Structure 1
Amino acid sequence: MTAQTTVNPNRELAELAFSEVLNGHDLERIPDYYAADCQYHGMIGPEAIDSDEYGSFLSMYFDAFPDLSFDIDEIVTEADVAAVRWTARGTHEGSLMDIPATGEAVTVTGMSFLHIEDGEISRVHSNQDMLGLLRQLDAIPDSPRKIVRLLAGQMKRRLTRR
Structure 2
Amino acid sequence: MSADNKEVVRRFNIEVIQNGREADFHALMAPDFVNHAAPQGMPNGPDSMWHTFQNVLRPALSNLVVTIHDQIAEGDKVTTRKTIRGVHTGTLLGVPATGRDVAISVIDIVRVQDGRYAEHWGLNTLTNVLASLSRA
- TM-score, normalization: structure 2? 0.88
Task: Report the residue type matching 1:30 in the other structure.
Answer: F
Task: Report the residue type matching 2:127 in the other structure.
Answer: L
Contact 2:111 2:120 (C-alpha < 8 Å) held by counterparts: yes
Per-residue deviation, residues 104-141 of structure 1 (Å, max 9, x unmatched): 1111111110101122110111110123212331359x
- TM-score, normalization: structure 1? 0.75
* 1:129-148 to 2 correspondences below 5 Å: 129-139=125-135
Contact 2:95 2:130 (C-alpha < 8 Å) held by counterparts: no
Structure 2 gap ranges (5+): none
- Count of paired positions: 135
Distance change in 2, residues 1:97/1:7 (3 Å): closer
Note the C-alpha offset of 1:95.
Answer: 0.8
Distance change in 2, residues 1:128/1:46 (3 Å): farther
Moved more, 116-125 or 81-90: 116-125
Distance 1:127 1:46 in 2: 17
The equivalent of 2:12 in structure 1 is 17
Distance change in 2, residues 1:132/1:122 (3 Å): same
Instruction: For residue 109 of structure 1, give the secondary structure of its aligned residue in structure 2.
Output: strand
Instruction: For residue 18 of structure 1, give the secondary structure of its aligned residue in structure 2.
Output: helix
The equivalent of 2:115 in structure 1 is 119
Task: Report the residue type matching 1:33 in the other structure.
Answer: L
The structure with more strand, counted as a fraction of residues: 2
Instruction: For residue 85 of structure 1, give the secondary structure of its aligned residue in structure 2.
Output: strand
Q: Tell me how large the CA RMSD over aligned residues is.
A: 2.1
The equivalent of 1:80 in structure 2 is 76
- Of structures 1 and 2, the larger Rg is shown by 1
Distance change in 2, residues 1:40/1:139 (3 Å): farther
